[in-house]
Amino acid sequence: MTPENSPSPGTVDASALGLVPAPRTLTVAAAGPYPLGYRTPLTAGPGTEGVARWLRATLGPPTGLPLPEGDGTGTSAGDGSGRGSIGQGIVLELDDSLAPEGYRLAVEANAVRLTGGTAAGVFRGAQTLRQLLGPDAFRRAPLAPGRTWEVPPVVVEDEPRFGWRGMMLDVCRHFLPKDDVLRYLDLLAAHKLNVFHFHLTDDQGWRIEIKRYPRLTEVGSWRSRTKYGHRASELWDETPYGGFYTQEDIREIVAYAAERHIRVVPEIDIPGHSQAAISAYPELGNTDVVDTTALSVWDTWGVNPNVLAPTDDTLRFFEGVLEEVLELFPAETSPFVHMGGDECPKDQWKESPLAQARIAELGVKDEDGLQSWFIRHFDAWLTARGRRLIGWDEILEGGLAEGAAVSSWRGYGGGIAAAEAGHDVVMCPEQQVYLDHRQDGGPDEPMPIGYVRTLENVYRFEPVPPGLSEEAARHILGTQANVWTEVMQNRARVDYQVFPRLAAFAEVAWSALPAPADRDFAAFDARMRAAHYARLDALGVDYRPPGGPYPRQQRPGILGRPLEGEPPVV
């Protein structure tokens, strides 16, 4: 923040600061703005060293400031640029009386003091510090070398509402290269989100290298062509399409997330959404019903009829997959493993003598019970290895293992049923927080899918449904926004669908907001316009402008599937 737009000593314009998500409290500090100079030290107390490394690496390029190591005593040499360069500088500390992700950021007479309940809390506070420095602090090089940087005179006390604040990214329908995934981790961190749900396998592509089953990526990661637009579109992109992450890529992604205090939830989808795996290893499919050797990686969208065969060999195969997955996603970063379980048509099982024999052998009621057997098996398998299974709300059908958690996507209903039954829940109803749904009802929205979900609609989303019992409400772990990429062919299209709505979602997940109807969207919109759009510009995010898409963002003539009216609350 430059001197000419800094608040005067003793005052602060909260709206001009544009903090997103909104902190719990923002008050005026007794001290004036704190200038940062070339010799301003950065002192990392025990346990905060990783945050200090991140701050230097992130603030150094746009500010040109090295932030040398300090000892918190204020004895570092000055450079003549003012009090901030000769005091204690930026001081990072832990205080276990604060909430684990809570923090206190205070501008004092001789320091900017950032205290967190854990290193994660200090890191969340570091994101606020970056925002306080202004949008130019989000760039990669100084715009005006030698400019004065100041921290405005504030005290921020903050902690999140939910412990699970996530985004799911589908890289199966359209693949994002590793660097784009790392960029999205930075964008999640900048919005104080802490869970990255990594959707790695589906009918249209298998995206993670499994060394004992090399054909999963040799065959399963490539498709010969791709539907262009909604599945009802007559258009095709005839270019062969694919890609996958090597195990080294995955380790890098997980480590990068851990440095930003983001948990990664890998998803290996079973028993449906499995045609890519079956195309690589045909014996995984229902060979007594269809010629699985004729199947290829699916080139269109929708619910695929080809599902896994309910055999012991299938279980052993996916145990082998998961053994490598668990090694790549250590428990510290990935306590949950998502096993899908959604949209599994039962037609092949109904026709399969083998599947019907397995139903009789297991003594389950029907094909739903067979799917429950799949999920229960891997719930027990993961539990024995210190992990927890989470799956889409269809895993409730046929009965759910005691320790499994539920991603409630078809609406609130599955989450309500799961929470009332004592299961932990992540609320992500498609009618509210599926960011592939269109942002406006106008004709210029590219490949319009689903209901209109505006920035304000997302801001008024409430993860905890009314009427939930107090005991059940304690099972709501949090919430996440889901990004399905059927009509998002590249990073720019993902950006357009995700932003700016992810900023509104982040505030819903983090901040202690009133009831949806009472939320001050006008104030949120003012903060976006005052500073946050400029931050997204500095980060190179190709978001949807408030006035509608630029011509280059439009996709005229490409069929979508718009749904009219208000989405149902189910």
Active site residues per annotation: 202, 273, 343
Whole-Å CA distances, 151 to 34, 85, 180, 477, 535:
5, 12, 31, 34, 16
Q: How many residues does the chain have?
A: 570
- Distance, in Å, from the CA atom of 273 to the CA atom of 454, rounded to the nearest integer, reads 30
Q: Which residue has the tokens 């004092």?
A: 108
Nearest to 36 by CA among 69, 82, 72: 82
On whether the CB atoms of residues 78 and 5 are closer than 8 A, the answer is no
- Taking the C-alpha atoms of residue 459 and residue 22, their distance in angstroms, rounded to an integer, is 12
Q: What is the DSSP letter of 113?
A: E
Continuous segment of H or E residues that includes residue 88: none
What value, to the nearest 5°, has the Cα angle with vertex 170 and ends 255 and 396? 100
> How does 155-177 read in b/e, with b if 16+ C-beta sit within 10 Å?
bbbbbbbbebbbbbbbbbbbbbe
Cβ(100)–Cβ(91) below 8 Å: no
In sequence order, the 6+-apart residues with CB closer than 8 A to the CB of 514 are none
Strand, helix or coil for residue 315: helix
SS3 263: strand
Which tokens go with 259?
């440095």
DSSP H or E segment with residue 55 = helix 49-63
CA–CA separation, 408 vs 414, rounded Å?
A: 5
Give the separation between CA 231 and CA 410, rounded to whole angstroms: 20
Pairing of strands 476-483, 561-562: unpaired
Calculate the CA 426 to chain-centre distance. Answer: 12
**Rg of the chain taking only CA atoms, in angstroms:** 25
Rounded Cα distance, 48 and 53, in Å: 9
Asked if residue 189 lies in contact with residue 260, where contact means CB atoms within 8 angstroms, the answer is: yes
Question: What are 241's two structure tokens?
Answer: 């399409």
3-state helix, strand and coil shares in percent for the chain, rounded to the nearest 5: 35, 20, 45
**In contact, 186 and 247? CB cutoff 8 Å:** no
Q: Which of the 8 DSSP states describes residue 568?
A: P
Max CA distance (Å), the chain = 84
Residue carrying structure tokens 């819903």 = 508
In sequence order, the β-bridge partners of residue 408 are 427
DSSP state of 489: -
Strands 425-427 vs 476-483: parallel, antiparallel or unpaired:
parallel
